[in-house]
Structure formats: C-alpha cells, structure tokens
Amino acid sequence: LMSRELAELNVKEMGVRFSELQENAKLTRNALWIQTGLLIFATLILMLLLSTIISKPIAGLITRIKAIGRREPLPNTPLKGPAEIMQLDEQLQWLDTHLTELEAAKGQFIQHISHELKTPLTTIREGADLLEEQVPGPLNNRQTHVVSLIRNSSLNLQSLIEQLLDYNQLQQSYTLKKDQVNIQKLVMSSLSSLQLLIAEKDLTVTVPESAPIIEVDRSMLQRVVNNLISNAVYYTDKNGQISIGTKTIKDNLIIDVSNSGHPIPEDDTQRIFEPFFQSSKRRTGSMKGTGIGLSIAKEAASAMSGDLSLIENSKGCIVFRLRIPLEPV
C-alpha cells in the first residue's frame, strides 16, 4: 500500500513537472517568435534605410551619366553618399570637362580645316568652269568628260565641306534668329536648285497650294527642308513622285516630305539620323551622299525645339515629318 501511494505521488509530481516544462517551452517558443519578428522587422527597416541612402546617389549618378551621353549640362546639386559614390561623381565631373574640351578642339579643327580646304577648292572649281566653257580653247570629247568629272567631284567636295561646317555649327551653342518665313516660298527655293535632276528623272513633284507665314529661324528651317527634299529627289527612281505637304496640328507646324520608291532597309531605320551613316539603299544621281545630311536636319529641328522622324516606310511611300512649334503671323 505504501509503495502504491509513493508511485502515485511520483506520477503526479512528474505530471506537474511535465506541465511546467510544457508551459516553459510554450513561453520560450513565443519569445523566439517575437524576437524573430522583431529581427525581421529591424532587418527590413535597415535594408530600406540602406537602399534609400544608396539608391538616391546612384539615381543621381545615372542622371549625370545620361546628361553626359546627351551632352547636356550636369546638375549643379552635389551628390551626398558613401565615399566611393562621391569619388565616382568626381570622376564623372572630370569626364564631362574632358569631353567638353575635346569637343571644342574638334569643332575648332573642323572649322579650320574646312576653311583651309575652301581656298584651293574655289580655284579648282573656277578652273573647271573655265575649261568646261572652253575659254582657254576647244576641248575634245575625252577632255570634256575629264573636266566634267573634275567639276562634279569639286561640287561633291564643296557640299561635304559645307555640311561639315553646318554640323559643327549646330554642335555649338546657337541663338535662334526668328524671322517671318513664307513656307511655300521656302519649299520652292529648295526645289529650284534641284530642277535639273528633277527634269532628268522626270519626277512628279506636288507642293502645297498655300502655306502659313510663321516666325522661325529661316536658316535652320532651310537646312531641314533642303536636306529632306534633296534626299527625296536623289532616292526616288525615274518617273517617281515626290510630295511636300504642310498642316497645323495643335500649334505645331507639320511638314511632310514623301517620295515613292523602295523602303529604307529595316536595319538602317534605327541609324539614319546618325552622322556619317551610309544607308545600304542605293542613291541615284551624280552626287554621292555624305551621310551627314539627315543628321544636320535632325540637329536643326532640335535647335528649333522640334523633331524630325520617319513616320512611314513602306513600298512606294517613304515619309519624313518635321514638327516645330509655331507662332503664326
């Protein structure tokens, strides 16, 4: 009897101890869950804080890199952040200054060499013109052909020099000189220098019957229109069609220059506005393209706060669109 009572007492005591252990384990488990939750919350807060501290200066670096790529002025606000990021910002500032110096040197070189080339080129052209007019004496057919080659080559070289000077000028700061411009007369002026080639290729040219008179920089607009129309004439096959249209959309002047012919190769459409890019599409006419005309037109459009784009590129219809904000007179 005595041993049975002792056994029951031990069992009861063990049950109490087991219950206490279970309660302690439950409390410990709850405490661990709370500590884990607090640790996760603290980690998230720390990660958010660190990402904010790092992401803001990184975003500033990205903005600076894009500005350098577009050759725009860098933001004046200094970056704040870790020492490595601030050191990288200093390197970007140095890179921007160095690129500006290189661009200035490049511009001076292009301007100098272009003017130096113009002097002997003028002499070559004058001599070729005199020979073509047979002022020194009569020429036979072979000599006439050689003189014609010299004259065409000098014209091509002159065009390239003038386009290089134009491109160089557009890379510099430029103050727009607004004037009243009759768009219809400007288009006709661009066509007049191409009349011989238009007649030779028997092209049908459609021009706007009427067009607005607007306040715009005449020379900038002339650059764009000249390049678009000359491209249309040179890239249109014989007996083709060219159309120049104007319209106004939401205080913007739209000039569309379209031509018939084969579409621009898809691989070329992404690069046609890059300077010196030569499309694989065949150009007709005696003058070879320089690969800089559309780039000059694009820069001139941007200088007028507008844009130039290829809006249609299908068989039989290639359309370039110039959009510029206008101030109607």
The contacts of residue 191 (CB under 8 Å, 6+ apart) are 198, 205, 207, 229
Per the CB < 8 A criterion, the answer to whether 226 and 194 are in contact is no
Q: Is residue 90 part of a domain?
A: no
In angstroms, what CA-CA distances link 105 with 94, 100, 112, 275? 17, 9, 10, 18
Q: Which residue has the tokens 């405490």?
A: 31
pLDDT digits (tens, 9 = 90+) for 88-118: 888 888 888 888 888 777 777 777 777 777 7
Bridge-based pairing state of the strands 241-248 and 204-206: parallel
Task: For residue 257, give the CATH number of its domain.
Answer: 3.30.565.10
Which pLDDT does position 152 carry in this prediction? Answer: 79
Q: Is residue 99 part of a domain?
A: no
Is 0.75 topped by the overall pTM? no
pLDDT digits (tens, 9 = 90+) for 239-289: 999 999 988 888 888 999 999 988 888 888 888 888 777 766 655 554 455
Q: What range does the domain containing 193 cover? A: 174-325
Say yes or no: 190 and 239 in one domain. yes
Say yes or no: 34 and 145 in one domain. no
Task: For residue 140, give the CATH number of its domain.
Answer: 1.10.287
Gyration radius of the chain's alpha carbons: 37
In angstroms, what CA-CA distances link 62 with 3, 83, 96, 207, 232? 85, 17, 14, 46, 39
Q: Is residue 98 part of a domain?
A: no
pLDDT of 179 > 80? The answer is: yes
Q: Which phi and psi angles does 253 have, rounded to 5°?
A: -85, 130
Q: Is residue 88 part of a domain?
A: no
Q: Is residue 94 part of a domain?
A: no
Number of domains in the chain: 3
Which pLDDT does position 74 carry in this prediction? Answer: 82
CA of residue 227 relative to chain centroid, distance: 17
At 329, the pLDDT band (50, 70, 90 cuts) reads: very low
Please state, as a whole number, how many other Cβ atoms lie within 10 Å of the Cβ of residue 53.
Answer: 14
Which pLDDT does position 281 carry in this prediction? Answer: 60
Burial track 260-276 (b if 16+ CB lie within 10 A, e otherwise) = bbebbeeebeeebbebe
Q: Is residue 93 part of a domain?
A: no
Q: Is 323 helix (H, G, I), strand (E, B) or coil?
A: strand
In angstroms, what CA-CA distances link 232 with 34, 198, 262? 75, 10, 12
> Which whole number is the average pLDDT over 198-210?
88
Say yes or no: 279 and 184 in one domain. yes
Which pLDDT does position 125 carry in this prediction? Answer: 82
Q: Is 166 helix (H, G, I), strand (E, B) or coil?
A: helix
Q: Is residue 97 part of a domain?
A: no
What share of the chain in percent tops pLDDT 90?
9
Say yes or no: 69 and 22 in one domain. yes
| Furthest CA-CA distance within the chain | 153
Say yes or no: 125 and 202 in one domain. no
pLDDT of 295 > 50? The answer is: yes
What share of the chain in percent tops pLDDT 70?
92
CA distance 255 to 228: 10
Chosen domain end from 150, 170, 190 = 170
Q: Which residue has the tokens 């041993």?
A: 3
Q: Is residue 28 part of a domain?
A: yes
CA neighbor of 264 nearest in space, from 197, 317, 204, 225: 317
